[in-house]
Structure 1
Amino acid sequence: MFSFYFLCLLFVQITLGIELEEKIHKDERFKRAILNKDLLPFDSHISYYIAYKKHSQKVISALNDLSNQTCFDFVKLKNEFKHKGMIFKTSDCNLIASANGTDAPTVIYLETTCSSKIGCIKHHIGLALGLIPHQNRWDRNSYVNILYDNIEKANVNEYKKVKGYSVKILNTPFDFGSIMNFERTYFSANGKPTYSSKLNPVYDKMLGQRNDFSFNDIKLLNDMYCGKRCPKKIKGCINGGYPDPKNCDSCKCPPGYRTKLCGIPEDSTGECGAKKLTAKKEYQTLYIKTDKICNHLIVSKPGRKVEVVVVKANILKRKICSHGKGLEIKHRHNKGAVGLSFCGSYKNVSVEPISSQVLVRYYGTDDSNHFAEIKYREV
């Protein structure tokens, strides 16, 4: 039985001809673009053409969203072209026919369902630009277990690590909330998960979100494509922030932080209590029930860590928990990565103490049954 990959390969061979098929066999991971300055397929000025009408506005919206957060200048052309750029087409499968190393266009094939969903389109634009799924990172073994017994044998290479010299991660940690990550059952042979988190099982439910690029997804693109936009870069960005290519005098801050250097937590949008909480040896309780956004920074003494336990929470349930919704706990050192995200009902979930600062963000709803009860202490 043909795997999905080989069916797509057959489609590309028929559509684009034998020459590209030979290129694919030489580089079987052609649709897994590599984030490396020496291999970038574009500059910041990118022409594009959409070869279909239905849902074409979704592509335009996806590119506009990306342009608003980066230095990319996407220019829509009326006719198909043969020079460097992006061409969007529909097909029976999702596929990136990359023209790395040449001046030919990169063709982004989207099946019907994907072409109607802006998040799926953004995922494939990310691949075309050079982002990789995080489970392909060379350092992924510190963050996830690859469950090879559950992966289709014909598609094991989809979970192959990219060699360190081929990919630049630019001081960004493994991000469980990245739009680039595979769904948990991607190429599963038995319907069971193909990979899982080593840090906390709650991270598992975050894998495969298709809502939007994460903060660090955008950071990678800005670092790779927009690094020379500012003649003089601001120095001293903290909490995962970085020089903003659209405002050279300020840092671009991750959700939950603000000011020029990202050193101060954002204000809550309602009455949420103290913004800064000091952890002590004894547990203290933080109870949140509101329809607003609450932002709390919990800090310990230098050299100590903050331990957090989600005692009980009832939050809007979703198939995949993503940033900007529900309860998010940023407990890792780099606050640019999406924090541990909760959606649904939970009891007594321990969050590993890693850092001396933990940011708790709660996105409230108008449902009176939604709340979160958290206890925290210094260890």
Structure 2
Amino acid sequence: MSAIKADWIDQFEKKTPQTNENYGITYDFGSIMHYGGTSASFNKKPTMVPSDPMHQETLGSAFVSFYDLLVLNNHYKCFDKCKGNAKAAKCEMGGVPHPRDCSKCLCPGGYGGQFCDKRPSGCGDVLKATKEYTDLSKTIGDPNMKEKEDFEICYYWIESPPNTQIEVRIDKISGNYAVDGCKYFGVEIKSQKDQKASGYRFCAYEDEDVTLLSHSNRVPVMIYSREGQTEVTIQYRYGEVP
């Protein structure tokens, strides 16, 4: 608490189920409502450190997370529109029938298609991992691109054979502004078990050599920018599950 600005102290008050309704939805480090790790700091030292240290740069996101959408739709009872609808979509990867069109799904980040079983359309590809490192290099944005509201995003799926584990290593990352939440550019790697949650976000050159291991044989990777130019190179391979 020693690094927190005096006028931010009340933001760290602990809540209870009686004072904070989350509709049974789990905590998401990538929620757009989450402060950055140094947002409340008067000396730039972290005032919030996630229980999973790899999520430090995820805090302070500019993206509306899938769990944010679940909270909002539960609060306003939007999901009731599809309850009991025999034609409601059967969604994969934790997706839910979309309240505006029950035949389609509202999908977690990194997933798309009618039933959340496809890579989102547009820039990106489905990549097949081998036992040797393969490079994925992508330059996105433009050096003269001014900050804009929407992101340019490329969606990749890295896949491997059943019963294997994917290793992803950040080889190079560069851009204009490395800040809390990687709000301007970065790479998001969804190697965690809960694919509904936000993935790990990185945007600083200090992240080079960071290595993540997957919990399944698919890892969605999103490379994005909304200001300037971003260059990212990651390496990936698979191994047997221990």
Q: TM-score, normalising length from structure 2?
A: 0.75
CA change 1:188–1:315 in 2 (3 A) is: closer
Task: For 2:14, give the aligned amino acid.
Answer: K
Alignment correspondent of 1:230: 82
Compare CA radii of gyration and give the structure with the larger one. Answer: 1
CA change 1:164–1:298 in 2 (3 A) is: farther
Of 193, 205, 212, which residue of structure 1 is paired with 2:57? 205
Deviations 1:227-250 (CA, angstroms, capped at 9, x unpaired): 312243535312232111111111
SS for the counterpart of 1:223 is helix
Deviation at 1:366, TM superposition (A): 9.0
Say yes or no: does 1:288 pair with 2:138: yes
SS for the counterpart of 1:178 is coil
Alignment correspondent of 2:107: 253
Say yes or no: does 1:279 pair with 2:133: no
CA distance, structure 1, for counterparts of residue 68 and residue 11 of structure 2: 23
Task: For 2:212, give the aligned amino acid.
Answer: V
CA distance, structure 2, for counterparts of residue 188 and residue 322 of structure 1: 17
Say yes or no: does 1:377 pair with 2:227: no
Deviations 1:245-273 (CA, angstroms, capped at 9, x unpaired): 1111111123432222110002333xx5x
CA distance, structure 2, for counterparts of residue 163 and residue 290 of structure 1: 42
Deviations 1:118-161 (CA, angstroms, capped at 9, x unpaired): xxxxxxxxxxxxxxxxxxxxxxxxxxxxxx66568994882525
Of 158, 164, 171, which residue of structure 2 is paired with 1:298? 158
Deviation at 1:196, TM superposition (A): 1.0
Percent same amino acid at aligned positions?
Answer: 30
Unaligned runs of 5+ in 2: 142-151
Query: Map of 1:154-169 to 2, 5 A cutoff?
Result: 155=9, 158-160=12-14, 162-163=16-17, 167-169=21-23
Alignment correspondent of 1:195: 48
Alignment correspondent of 1:215: 66
Alignment correspondent of 2:209: 348
**8 Å Cα contact 1:323-1:341 kept in structure 2:** no
**8 Å Cα contact 1:315-1:327 kept in structure 2:** no
CA distance, structure 2, for counterparts of residue 288 and residue 338 of structure 1: 21
Deviation at 1:220, TM superposition (A): 1.6
Say yes or no: does 1:359 pair with 2:220: yes
Unaligned runs of 5+ in 1: 1-147
CA change 1:185–1:325 in 2 (3 A) is: closer
CA change 1:161–1:332 in 2 (3 A) is: farther
Task: For 2:175, give the aligned amino acid.
Answer: I
**8 Å Cα contact 2:4-2:47 kept in structure 1:** yes
Deviation at 1:311, TM superposition (A): 1.1
Task: For 1:328, give the aligned amino acid.
Answer: E
Query: Map of 1:259-274 to 2, 5 A cutoff?
Result: 259-269=113-123
CA distance, structure 1, for counterparts of residue 210 and residue 12 of structure 2: 32
CA change 1:194–1:349 in 2 (3 A) is: same
CA change 1:159–1:309 in 2 (3 A) is: farther
CA change 1:313–1:249 in 2 (3 A) is: same
- Work out which structure has the larger RCO, using CA pairs closer than 8 Å and 6 or more positions apart in sequence: 2
Alignment correspondent of 1:316: 176
CA distance, structure 1, for counterparts of residue 137 and residue 96 of structure 2: 32
SS for the counterpart of 1:250 is strand
Deviation at 1:348, TM superposition (A): 0.9
Higher helix fraction (1 or 2)? 1
CA change 1:232–1:195 in 2 (3 A) is: same
CA change 1:365–1:167 in 2 (3 A) is: closer
CA distance, structure 2, for counterparts of residue 219 and residue 228 of structure 1: 12
CA distance, structure 2, for counterparts of residue 367 and residue 199 of structure 1: 30
CA distance, structure 2, for counterparts of residue 353 and residue 159 of structure 1: 35
Alignment correspondent of 2:27: 174
CA distance, structure 1, for counterparts of residue 57 and residue 221 of structure 2: 18
CA distance, structure 1, for counterparts of residue 41 and residue 185 of structure 2: 28
Q: TM-score, normalising length from structure 1?
A: 0.50
**8 Å Cα contact 1:306-1:356 kept in structure 2:** yes
